Structure 1
């Protein structure tokens, strides 16, 4: 499971005295442990991906804040954090691949956005972020 990979990378970061990686991996391990505790059993792969996606989203928000504040030091740190977190996600699909998958799933012109997203979200969970999915869905409907 992902928790073992996170723990192994955390140990490696500690040995290499990589403070940024150590902080990110500790945060991710804590989030995974918390989610597992709340559920009361081991997380499925999809649930683990959802936890990582939540951390990625928060990091994106922090990165935007750092850019608005013009803080180059924070921008560099948040980009590194994002890179580490994304290494735990499956390969992200391109917009073309997302569009192909959605067309095959039956999303067509004139469809309601809510209905289309109900089809798209579970289909592409972990394979693309929500903003990209929404953008492609809008272009299709």
Structure 2
């Protein structure tokens, strides 16, 4: 369970006085806790991965803002946060693996983008990011 892993790493970060890791893990744990309370039950692995992906997306947005502002200190911090957060994702698939999975699932040339994404999203949830998924689907159809 992802929540226990996050909590264990949070305890280690506190012991080691790693301020960045402590901050990131605290935010992630809070997001997982609030989602669990909102649902009223234990989160599934897919739901936990979706929360981690949401945190990664927010960090990417903050990184883009830091890059536009040319703030090197913020860029380094956001990149370090991304590395920490990506450790909680399952192994990401390569584009070739995604193409193989989608072809096997029935995504073909001439298919509507919406229909193709309806097949791709549940199949690839947590295994790749949305941008890569979209790019591969577009190349297939």
Band the TM-score falls in, shorter-chain normalisation: over 0.9
Please list every run of 5 or more consecutive structure 2 residues that lacks an aligned counterpart in the other structure. none
Counterpart residue number, 2:140: 140
Report the alpha carbon displacement of residue 75 of structure 1 after superposing the two structures with TM.
Answer: 0.7
Deviation string 1:66-119 (CA, Å, 9 cap, x unpaired) is: 111111111110011000100000000111111111111110000000000000
| Distance in 2 of aligned mates of 1:7 and 1:20 | 15
| Distance in 2 of aligned mates of 1:93 and 1:74 | 29
Residues paired across the two proteins, number:
141
| Distance in 1 of aligned mates of 2:67 and 2:131 | 19
Deviation string 1:50-77 (CA, Å, 9 cap, x unpaired) is: 1001001111111111111111111110
Counterpart residue number, 1:77: 77
Please list every run of 5 or more consecutive structure 1 residues that lacks an aligned counterpart in the other structure. none
| Distance in 2 of aligned mates of 1:51 and 1:42 | 13
Counterpart residue number, 1:28: 28
Counterpart residue number, 2:118: 118
Deviation string 1:10-66 (CA, Å, 9 cap, x unpaired) is: 000011110000000000000000100110000011110010010011111111111
What SS does the corresponding residue of 1:128 show, helix, strand or coil?
Answer: coil
- The ranges of structure 1 where at least 4 consecutive aligned residues each deviate by more than 2 angstroms after the TM superposition are none
Report the alpha carbon displacement of residue 131 of structure 1 after superposing the two structures with TM.
Answer: 0.8
Counterpart residue number, 2:98: 98
TM-score normalised by the chain length of structure 2: 0.99
Report the alpha carbon displacement of residue 123 of structure 1 after superposing the two structures with TM.
Answer: 0.1
CA-atom RMSD in angstroms:
0.5
| Distance in 2 of aligned mates of 1:8 and 1:49 | 17
Counterpart residue number, 1:62: 62
